[in-house]
Amino acid sequence: AWTPRDTGALTGASPDEYMRRSAMLSFGILRTHDAASVWPPLVKDVAEWLDASTVRGFDVRPGNALDPSAATGATELPAEALAMEQTLLPRALERGRSLISNHPLLDPDLHLLGDLLHASGSVVHAVLLRAEGRSVGALGVHWISVPRPGFERRNGFYTYLENAALALALALEREDRQQELDELHRAAYTDALTGLPNHRALERELSSQGLAVRRLTLGDVALDSRDALARHLAPDLAARG
């Protein structure tokens, strides 16, 4: 059984030690600034903490679509475990709460899958990562023919999970804000009709090279047009004497 690192004994860690380890792991993951970097340590920590055979992480996209993000443990799952995960995760997202295959109130249409998993000593847990009232990620946690850990360990785990969800939400928020800034930048420096860099982009480029560009006024345009016309007519007027 896994116990928090740096606690000395390999077994019998106290609830306080699990909470201390939760705080240490939370501190590390909350300092992660992009979503892609949150997932690898998250699935690893969950697998170690819960003695899980496999942990699979999923990004939650608009419409509750799920995109695989990171995984650890066994790469091949029994068909019934994979089917249970694929069924529980969408239902968990729809209901806004985590679901588990061995729950006594499991949906009736899943009883057969649940019985197959129970017969092999396996459990599938669809875990939601929720922050600010929404699901920002999801985990498929699998115990394949191995027992789940006791409640004393899970208390610290759920504290860590809340902080991991917050870290993921903050990272996604930063990415959204950066995308908005990039779109504003493109709008400011691109001609809407042609899609080419506009006059502001030219000024910015010249300024970065220590140069400057002078804006033309209507008077400049009129003067340039008059001079161009005079140059065009000069040979004809000279020929007429």
Instruction: Please report the DSSP string for 116-180 in residue order.
Output: HHHHTT-EEEEEEEEETTEEEEEEEEEESSSPPPPHHHHHHHHHHHHHHHHHHHHHHHHHHHHHH
Q: Name the residue with tokens 């239902």.
A: 91
Q: Is pTM beyond 0.95 here? A: no
Q: How far is CA 25 from CA 22, 68, 207, in A?
A: 5, 23, 46
Of 9 and 56, the structure prediction assigns the larger pLDDT to 56
Task: State the pLDDT at residue 17.
Answer: 79
- Does the pLDDT of residue 4 top 80, yes or no? no
pLDDT digits (tens, 9 = 90+) for 206-225: 777 766 555 545 554 444 44
- Our measurement of the distance from residue 181's CA atom to the centroid of its chain's CA atoms, rounded to an integer in Å, reads 18
Task: State the pLDDT at residue 208.
Answer: 73
Task: State the pLDDT at residue 13.
Answer: 64
- Among residues 57, 68, 34, the alpha carbon closest in space to that of 176 is found at 34
Kindly report which listed range (105-109, 119-123, 156-160, 178-182) carries the lowest average pLDDT score: 178-182
Burial of 215 (0-12, 13-18, 19+ CB in 10 A): exposed
In sequence order, what DSSP letters do the residues of the chain get, joined into one string? ----TTSS-SS---HHHHHHHHHHHHHHHHT--SHHHHHHHHHHHHHHHHT-SEEEEEEEEGGGEEEEEEEEE-S---HHHHHHHHHHHHHHHHHTS-EETT-TT--GGGHHHHHHHHHTT-EEEEEEEEETTEEEEEEEEEESSSPPPPHHHHHHHHHHHHHHHHHHHHHHHHHHHHHHHHHHHHHHHB-TTT-SB-HHHHHHHHHHTT---PPPPHHHHHHHHHHHHHHHHHHHHHHT-
What is the average per-residue pLDDT within 46-72? 93
Of 13 and 117, the structure prediction assigns the larger pLDDT to 117
What is the average per-residue pLDDT within 29-36? 84
